[in-house]
Amino acid sequence: MPLLKLTTSVVLGEKERKEILPALSRLVAECTGKPEAYVMVVLAPAAMMMAGKAGPAAFVDFRAIGGLSGKKNQEISARVCSFLSASLGIPAERVYIAFTDVSAGNWGWNGDTF
């Protein structure tokens, strides 16, 4: 049920994608305390401009059913930015993260909702 969608201007090869996706999946599970069996991670390339400049940047869409709060979101933001800086060379000031706490009835899975 937690979803992390990473949209980035950093061009990634197949090897990098295969390393980043499972690492982000583990990070989401750790941050939310939810089983990794329910985590989805999406990686999407995009042309991006931030602060009027091209260069490495990322937009992260982080959604979950419960478990998000101001304090928790700060923790997740710090961990995601640190990860993106270390693994992709994206400075934290070039990362936006949108947090959405979705109600169980508004999240579909397996032909039903949570």
Alpha-helical regions (H) of the chain: 14-32, 70-88
Catalytic annotation, pick one of 2, 22, 45, 91: 2
Burial of residue 110, with CB atoms counted within 10 A of its CB: 0-12 exposed, 13-18 middle, 19 or more buried: exposed
The SS3 of residue 58 is strand
Specify whether 2 is catalytic.
yes
Catalytic residue list: 2
